[in-house]
Structure 1
Amino acid sequence: MQPRVARAMMWIALGLIVVVRLLSGIAHGWGAGALLLAMVSYPPLVALLWRSWPGRVRYGLVALIVGLAALPFAVVGTGWDWLPWTVAVAVLVAFRGRTAAALFAVLLGAVLAGGLLAGDSAADVLWRMTATVNDGLIILSLHTLAGMVRDLTTARGELARLATLRERLRLDGELRDVVGGDLRVIAERLSGGLGGVREAVDLARRALARIREAAANYRTAGMAAHGAGLGSPRIARFVLLGVLLMQATAAAAYVATVSVVQLFVAVPVLVSIVTLYLVPHFRYRLVAIAVLTFPLVWPGSFLVPAWGWDGMWGFFIGLSLLRLRPPASWVVVVSVLGLHVVLGRTLPPVLPPALIAMSLASDLILGGLVYSLTRLGELVVVLDRARYELADEAVARERVRMARDLHDVLGFSLSAVALRGELALRLLDRDPGRAAAELASLRELVGRSARELAMITDGRIRLQLAQEIDTAREVLAAAGAAAEITVSTGPLARQADTALAAVLRESVTNVLRHSRVRTCVIDIVEEGGLVRLTVTNDGVAVADVPQPQEGLGLASMAVRAGGRLRAGTLPGGRFELVAEFGSDPAGFGGDADGVDAVAGTELGHR
């Protein structure tokens, strides 16, 4: 809804400007033909503002608007209240930077020259230039801010994606240098005889300690996304100041047409009004601006022409909408509009209804401008800040994911390397053949650890249940435990296979860490659309049972995979863990951070 509201503000302002121009034409006695001629450039302007066009189309629309805006001169000459505001809007919207500024200056020069050649008074020429600038700046600012709101809303996840990729690449380089280097040295030492095997085992334990330390650091240390977001958009501040100065200049020019002497009263008052609009934290600002903006409330207000200030009333309406809550703000709006009507029908010169309606529409345009630019500017800042907050959150999630995978995937592998390396050393004298087989499988385990490191840094963990079953059997055997494993399932979906493999790996890790296991029974069955993994082991003392940590571990893993888990002690010093998943766990359908639309898993520890 935010982009629509922002666009609606622009279209409302555009509609009110059109109404003002039509009412001005009616007040000056234009016929229907002249009114239609004055409006022919409006449809292509609407088309230009409707969407972002390619350059050729955009420039073609600008040329069409310029041609149609000049068409009335060929038909009715200068005998109409001409104002090239559509050309001003087209130039400012279609072009950028210095090109837009130069073309806009040329347009204002043409307005000045045209007014002088037509014999208009200095006040009329100044009014025409002021109105052209104001209308152009009003639509430009609302169009630009609406585009910023749209772009920020559309791309709010883009910064998070880029920040996550940056962090992933940074951690990838860090882990490949440290952990990858350890794995390469371990592989080399395994080929260096008995002494090399001992060094490999020691290095595996040191690498495991470093991995656990790194995992802890990744969980606790944050990495903010680059940049701090936008401040208040400059275009909002500059346009408000520009339009305010233009209206103040027009007010001073009107006073000068009545009496130059009265400028000594008008100019200080107008400067005070502009200054107060630039000091947002002054406590009594609204009251002070009201006193200065409506000189009819002054004692001795006869010194200043009543209509010198009416172009400033809209700013007070906008400020009241921002500073006051309904219904007080609406009371102010209705009061100001009502005062405009009363004064227009009572003070000389009495204005015709069309000019009074035009004045009311102008009040609403300026009031809406103050309100819209302020609110849209705040919205842009909020949206931009939200982009950075989303990026920080995504980076934090990526670090937590990396910590989990480091701890559980590589932690398990390096634990297995150390454990099976020690077993190989013990078997060298008693059973050289089995020791050689252990060393061969150990080299394969180190190679698999290197591949798992690549998967962790790539964010695409792939575990296979069959491989984890074999590894569990071997690791338990290396620890001197008998493994009884039963699998009663058909082919499993990739997500279910990964989920079961992840839970089995972590379960076996916990069995080895938290018990003096002698027998471990692993049972995997599929029934009623559910796949159930049961792991039961002995050798557990009550004091050794780990306490679950909220948001981490096997229970959290099961929840993320769309399953459930229960665990607890059994009589006789046994511990049982039961994990159940649907045959296609929803939680493993995509990368956790949303960067890659592929199946992945986040692993925790218990």
Structure 2
Amino acid sequence: MDSHDRSGSADESRGSRPEAVTPPSPSIGIPVSRPARALLVATLLGYALLTTTGILSAGMPPTAEAISLLLLLPVLALQLLHSTPGGSRAPLPRRCLTLALQALLTYFPVVVLGTYWETMAGYLAGSLLLLLPPRVAWPLYAAVGLSMLVPPLLDARTVIESAAFSHTTLLPGLVLYGLARLTELAAHLHTTRAELARRAVTGERLRFARDLHDLLGFSLSSIALKSELIHHLIPTHPQRAMEEAGEVLTIAGQSLADVRRAAGGYRTLSLRQEIRTAQTMLDAAGIDVRVRVELATLSPHVETELATTLREAVTNLLRHSKARHCAIEAVQQDGLVRLVVENDGADPAHHNPGPHSGNGLGNLHARMTALGGRLETGHGEDGTFRLLAEASAMRTADACAELKEITFPPNGSAA
């Protein structure tokens, strides 16, 4: 086996392959941000209507009344602009400019015309909360509310009447701030749902590709090896060739069953069965095998991942080495299970540059990491290659559920 066989495409590892599954369109269905946005606009218009009614019923001179009504339109437009999702991320100079313009339009009728805006000052208070950092926005919000106490007091109004004007400033400001944040949150939620759907589709595609690689790589290598053996046995040992052919049929049937299980969801494998199969495979290849198994009860997820690791190790041994001896050790001790595969005949300089050289060790490393375990590989000075996989013997289904969400580089590594 050769741990250097790690060639792959950087674009593919980032999921940018042109044939990647197209994510669901965010436009499917009614975005949740639309009702929130409609509620915000309706509230803004309601406060504007309330202010219009107050201006018309205040008995102001016609000129002051007309100017106040005309100023409602730009104030409303500015508030709509400030309430747009993402408005707080606009450049600071632009935010300060629009806030200054809104403040000028808000206080002009109060200072110059002596009229009372009531809820229009609430627009300004809400905009301050939306566009400025909290440490600045909240003091300014309070200052706007307190400023609306002054004109009624100067007009010989009672303190209670003055407090009502301040209240109609502070409360609308909070309402508009809350609705604008709700609209932004709803838009963010809709975008996040679309992104999660895209990742789920991509993750399932990669999971299926990973499982097919791990399943068929071992099975096809077994079939190829035994078919070559049958080819040599037919002239001299026809009976032995018939027996090997029967084993090929068994492996092919098992491969078909494994593929069907992989297509249906998560599959379980037996580590002990895989060790026996690996021993048979290596014996048929003329490799001397030493096996040590000391296992008790294992979590199905842990056993499946270790069995998959063993499959990949044996597949790479047959493909990338000229081994004559191999040692397989599966030992459980102190709550940990350790799988070691060591063989000779490895070429440290081996590197397969082909675009389809396999996912191999990249998959295995991600699998063991997801289990909370570790995978170590390395070459020895005497031409040996050693693979060690270790994990906790018992892992719950919840702890291992993330295995289906692992994203692997399509061309990660081979032995």
TM-score normalised over the length of structure 1: 0.56
Measured in 2, the distance between the counterparts of 1:543 and 1:454 equals 37
Measured in 2, the distance between the counterparts of 1:403 and 1:289 equals 57
Q: Structure 1: which amino acid aligns with 2:158?
A: P
Name the residue aligned to 2:42.
239
Contact 2:68 2:109 (8 Å CA) reproduced = no
Measured in 1, the distance between the counterparts of 2:210 and 2:173 equals 55
Name the residue aligned to 1:209.
none
Name the residue aligned to 1:306.
115
Contact 1:553 1:605 (8 Å CA) reproduced = no
How has the CA–CA distance of structure 1 residues 397 and 551 changed in structure 2, closer, same or farther, with 3 Å as cutoff?
farther
Name the residue aligned to 2:149.
341
State the Cα distance separating 1:437 from its structure 2 match.
Answer: 1.1
Q: Structure 2: which amino acid aligns with 1:425?
A: H
Question: What secondary structure does 1:535 align onto?
Answer: strand
Contact 1:402 1:456 (8 Å CA) reproduced = yes
Does residue 1:290 correspond to 2:98, yes or no? no
Measured in 1, the distance between the counterparts of 2:344 and 2:63 equals 103
Q: Structure 2: which amino acid aligns with 1:271?
A: L
Question: What secondary structure does 2:269 align onto?
Answer: coil
Q: Structure 1: which amino acid aligns with 2:318?
A: L
Contact 1:404 1:605 (8 Å CA) reproduced = no
More helix by share: 1
Question: What secondary structure does 2:390 align onto?
Answer: strand
- Alpha-carbon displacement from aligned partner over 1:483-515 (angstroms, at most 9, x marks no partner): 232323345443443233122111101111210
Does residue 1:507 correspond to 2:316, yes or no? no
State the Cα distance separating 1:305 from its structure 2 match.
Answer: 4.7
Name the residue aligned to 1:269.
71
Does residue 1:572 correspond to 2:382, yes or no? yes
Question: What secondary structure does 2:172 align onto?
Answer: helix
Alignment identity in percent? 31
Contact 1:495 1:589 (8 Å CA) reproduced = no
Contact 1:524 1:533 (8 Å CA) reproduced = yes
Measured in 2, the distance between the counterparts of 1:476 and 1:551 equals 20
Structure 2 residues without counterparts, runs of 5 or longer = 1-7, 83-89, 406-411
Question: What secondary structure does 1:565 align onto?
Answer: strand
Name the residue aligned to 2:366.
556
Measured in 2, the distance between the counterparts of 1:375 and 1:393 equals 26
Measured in 2, the distance between the counterparts of 1:556 and 1:272 equals 58
State the Cα distance separating 1:445 from its structure 2 match.
Answer: 0.9
Name the residue aligned to 1:320.
128
Q: Structure 2: which amino acid aligns with 1:583?
A: A
Q: Structure 2: which amino acid aligns with 1:324?
A: L
Measured in 2, the distance between the counterparts of 1:537 and 1:448 equals 26
Contact 1:315 1:367 (8 Å CA) reproduced = yes
Greater Rg over alpha carbons, structure = 1
Does residue 1:258 correspond to 2:60, yes or no? yes
How has the CA–CA distance of structure 1 residues 387 and 433 changed in structure 2, closer, same or farther, with 3 Å as cutoff?
same
State the Cα distance separating 1:368 from its structure 2 match.
Answer: 0.7
Question: Counterparts of 1:316-465 in structure 2 under 5 Å?
Answer: 316-347=124-155, 350-465=156-271
Question: What secondary structure does 1:306 align onto?
Answer: coil
Name the residue aligned to 2:294.
488
Measured in 2, the distance between the counterparts of 1:484 and 1:473 equals 8
Question: Counterparts of 1:39-54 in structure 2 under 5 Å?
Answer: none
State the Cα distance separating 1:451 from its structure 2 match.
Answer: 1.0
Measured in 2, the distance between the counterparts of 1:524 and 1:517 equals 20
Question: Of the candidates 543, 556, 564, which is equivalent to residue 349 of structure 2?
Answer: 543
Name the residue aligned to 1:592.
402
In the alignment of these two chains, the number of paired residues is 378
How has the CA–CA distance of structure 1 residues 293 and 546 changed in structure 2, closer, same or farther, with 3 Å as cutoff?
same
- Alpha-carbon displacement from aligned partner over 1:374-395 (angstroms, at most 9, x marks no partner): 1121122222222222232333
Name the residue aligned to 1:523.
329
Q: Structure 1: which amino acid aligns with 2:133?
A: R
How has the CA–CA distance of structure 1 residues 427 and 589 changed in structure 2, closer, same or farther, with 3 Å as cutoff?
farther
Contact 1:499 1:588 (8 Å CA) reproduced = no
How has the CA–CA distance of structure 1 residues 530 and 449 changed in structure 2, closer, same or farther, with 3 Å as cutoff?
same
Q: Which piece of structure 1 moves more, 471-480 or 514-523? A: 471-480
Measured in 2, the distance between the counterparts of 1:340 and 1:494 equals 69
Question: What secondary structure does 1:271 align onto?
Answer: helix
Contact 1:269 1:292 (8 Å CA) reproduced = yes
Measured in 2, the distance between the counterparts of 1:400 and 1:573 equals 34
How has the CA–CA distance of structure 1 residues 517 and 568 changed in structure 2, closer, same or farther, with 3 Å as cutoff?
same
Q: Structure 1: which amino acid aligns with 2:125?
A: I
Name the residue aligned to 1:123.
none
Q: Structure 1: which amino acid aligns with 2:202?
A: A
Measured in 1, the distance between the counterparts of 2:347 and 2:237 equals 33
State the Cα distance separating 1:339 from its structure 2 match.
Answer: 2.7
- Alpha-carbon displacement from aligned partner over 1:68-120 (angstroms, at most 9, x marks no partner): xxxxxxxxxxxxxxxxxxxxxxxxxxxxxxxxxxxxxxxxxxxxxxxxxxxxx
- Alpha-carbon displacement from aligned partner over 1:467-496 (angstroms, at most 9, x marks no partner): 212221232233332323232334544344
Measured in 2, the distance between the counterparts of 1:368 and 1:218 equals 43
- Alpha-carbon displacement from aligned partner over 1:150-204 (angstroms, at most 9, x marks no partner): xxxxxxxxxxxxxxxxxxxxxxxxxxxxxxxxxxxxxxxxxxxxxxxxxxxxxxx
Question: Of the candidates 392, 397, 412, which is equivalent to residue 582 of structure 1?
Answer: 392
Question: What secondary structure does 1:576 align onto?
Answer: strand
Contact 2:298 2:393 (8 Å CA) reproduced = yes
- Alpha-carbon displacement from aligned partner over 1:414-443 (angstroms, at most 9, x marks no partner): 221222122222212221111111111111
State the Cα distance separating 1:464 from its structure 2 match.
Answer: 1.0
Does residue 1:225 correspond to 2:23, yes or no? yes
- Alpha-carbon displacement from aligned partner over 1:206-248 (angstroms, at most 9, x marks no partner): xxxxxx99xx799654435313264564324422432243134
State the Cα distance separating 1:551 from its structure 2 match.
Answer: 8.3
Measured in 2, the distance between the counterparts of 1:573 and 1:242 equals 80
How has the CA–CA distance of structure 1 residues 228 and 492 changed in structure 2, closer, same or farther, with 3 Å as cutoff?
closer
Contact 1:560 1:588 (8 Å CA) reproduced = no
Question: What secondary structure does 2:289 align onto?
Answer: strand
Contact 2:234 2:241 (8 Å CA) reproduced = yes
How has the CA–CA distance of structure 1 residues 220 and 430 changed in structure 2, closer, same or farther, with 3 Å as cutoff?
farther
Contact 1:520 1:535 (8 Å CA) reproduced = yes
Measured in 2, the distance between the counterparts of 1:371 and 1:461 equals 51
Q: CA RMSD in A?
A: 3.4
Measured in 2, the distance between the counterparts of 1:292 and 1:219 equals 51
Measured in 2, the distance between the counterparts of 1:582 and 1:330 equals 52
Question: What secondary structure does 2:213 align onto?
Answer: helix
Measured in 2, the distance between the counterparts of 1:345 and 1:252 equals 19
Question: Counterparts of 1:95-110 in structure 2 under 5 Å?
Answer: none
Question: What secondary structure does 2:184 align onto?
Answer: helix
Contact 1:500 1:533 (8 Å CA) reproduced = yes
